[in-house]
Amino acid sequence: MRFPNLGARALARVGTPGAASHAGGQAAIDLEATRRYEEGGYRAMLDPCLALPEPVPRRQLFVDISGLIQRDARTGIQRVVRNLTRALAEIDLPGWRVEPVYVHQQHFVYARRFTTADWQLPALALGDEPIRAETGDVFFTADLALLPIAQMEAPLQRLRAGGVAVHFVLHDLIPLTHPQFYQGEVDPRFARWLEIVLAEADGVWCVSAAVLDDLRAYLRRHPPARRDGGPRLGWFHLGANLPAWQATTAQPGHWETLGLSGVTRRSRCFLMVGTLEPRKGHGQVLDAFEALWRVGDDVCLVIIGKVGWNVRPVVDRLRSHPEAGRRLAWFENAADNVLCQAYGTAHALIAASYTEGFGLPLIEAAQHGLPIIARDIPVFREVAGEHAYYFDAADGAALAAAIRAWLALEAEGRAPVSRGLPYLSWAESARRVAQAILPRTE
């Protein structure tokens, strides 16, 4: 089934929402699109060939995107929220309609303006009015809304009092368990966020079994003061979808595509992916490659990631390094096609994080068949299993030795291969979330 204007108009991306208002005036109302939305929700909008469901979905799954709307860096958690929200809207959930929402002045409102723009849907001219919650509805968020959480506390209490189940995703406990990677002390914003989550949630779902272990250990030391014993706990894995335009033409050795000029066809190129922050290990990796270069090893390093926090010394080294543009390249604002080109050109991924909640670059590397060299931490073992080479290095010299050991295994054809590493699509990840949080409809 087709209807006028689907996908032909994309509203301008909105910023932080103001007062709830009608979207009229931005574009002409698409009556057929509006009808399909009202009868079938966003799933009918995202698939114009979908036969409208019978009966009309009568329960709502509110997916909170308050943090995403406030600030979308398009990395890390924002990527998770964006992908998981859309996947939930696209999969078949009989009896349910998915409604992205955000908090505004201590009330949750429908995020229709943001969603129709972000998903390039027709201008429905639907306003961001307050949500209409009923008993049996479900609230879910994978967002880390550190600032909006203060506004969310009261409406979350009202939702639960009205019979709406509340579920949160926990990406990690690093701000509490490893404060040395932040400001040297526990982040009070995160502590307050977790306090509200543990007080108000019916369920907390971790992005890995490793994070669930961390949460259970934390709760043994800090049990929530609740008569019901606290929220249900569980875990699921995040999804990863290979872009349809993946770098199929990229070949190892095409260094010019990565801005490297000081390498040979026999060089080995290593890739790091992730925001520059202390826990990611960029400083130690750079130490290791400087050690390798000093003794004449024919290797190069490509780093893809935005500047995070507390990494000024590493940033200064990268920007003024004598090997920059020769055997060292840093892409601070790489587009997805550049990322895919790097995955297709490099010889191995280095995942040097000291702690993580999941480890999406490991999966992205496996999708491209790129070997993985990973620090030996529990979550990397959980995600990659036997499909990675693991190291335990206290300094750059030890990591350089580990890289040499991997190079020797590669030369002998005995290095672990990433192909075959199991992973979920975002649709599969969304289905696991839905199975955990949604009660069955009659």
**Segment 57-82 mean pLDDT:** 86
Q: Do 147 and 173 have their domain in common?
A: yes
**Model pLDDT for residues 109-130, shown as the tens digit of each residue:** 999 999 999 999 887 888 899 9
pLDDT beyond 50 at 7: no
What is the CA angle 300-302-304, rounded to 5?
170
349 in helix, strand or coil? Answer: strand
Is residue 6 in a domain?
no
Q: Do 370 and 270 have their domain in common?
A: yes
The number of residues making up the chain comes to: 442
Contacts of residue 358, defined as CB under 8 A and 6 or more positions apart, other chains included, come to: 171, 207, 208, 211, 237, 238, 379, 383
Structural domain including 294 reads 255-412
Model-wide pTM > 0.95:
no
Is residue 3 in a domain?
no
**Segment 231-235 mean pLDDT:** 97
What are the helix (H) ranges across 47-98?
A: 66-70, 76-90
Q: Do 184 and 312 have their domain in common?
A: no
Is residue 51 in a domain?
yes
**Segment 15-32 mean pLDDT:** 52
For the chain, the domain total comes to 2
**Segment 63-91 mean pLDDT:** 87
Q: Do 212 and 264 have their domain in common?
A: no
Is residue 231 in a domain?
yes
Q: Do 150 and 261 have their domain in common?
A: no
Mean pLDDT is lowest, of 13-17, 157-161, 193-197, for 13-17
Residue type, 282: H
- Pairs from 397-404 (Cβ < 8 Å, separation ≥ 24): 397/287, 397/288, 397/291, 399/284, 399/285, 399/287, 399/288, 399/352, 400/287, 400/288, 400/289, 400/291, 400/292, 402/373, 403/270, 403/288, 403/292, 403/299, 403/350, 403/373, 404/292, 404/297
**Segment 312-332 mean pLDDT:** 95
Q: Do 141 and 119 have their domain in common?
A: yes
Residue 269's Cβ-count burial label (10 Å; 0-12, 13-18, 19+) is buried
Is residue 17 in a domain?
no
Q: Do 331 and 194 have their domain in common?
A: no
User: Which CATH number is 270's domain given?
Assistant: 3.40.50.2000
Indicate the average pLDDT of the chain: 87
Q: Do 208 and 61 have their domain in common?
A: yes
Contacts of residue 18, defined as CB under 8 A and 6 or more positions apart, other chains included, come to: none
- CA dihedral 47→51→54→59, nearest 10 degrees, is 0
Q: Do 117 and 145 have their domain in common?
A: yes
DSSP 194: H
pLDDT beyond 60 at 6: no
**Segment 206-230 mean pLDDT:** 93
Instruction: Give the Cα separation of 207 and 226 in Å (integer).
Output: 24
pLDDT beyond 70 at 15: no
Q: Do 65 and 105 have their domain in common?
A: yes
Is residue 281 in a domain?
yes
Is residue 235 within 8 A of residue 209, CB to CB? The reply is yes
Is residue 395 in a domain?
yes
Is residue 12 in a domain?
no
Helices 396-412 & 282-294, crossing angle to 10 degrees? 70
Question: Comparing C-alpha atoms, which of 137, 75, 150, 141 is closest to residue 105?
Answer: 150
Q: Do 219 and 287 have their domain in common?
A: no
Backbone angles phi, psi at 251, to 5 degrees: -130, 140
Strand partners, 60: 97
Q: Do 338 and 375 have their domain in common?
A: yes
Neighbouring C-beta atoms of residue 214, cutoff 10 Å: 22
Mean pLDDT is lowest, of 116-125, 345-354, 380-389, 415-424, for 116-125
Is residue 4 within 8 A of residue 32, CB to CB? The reply is yes
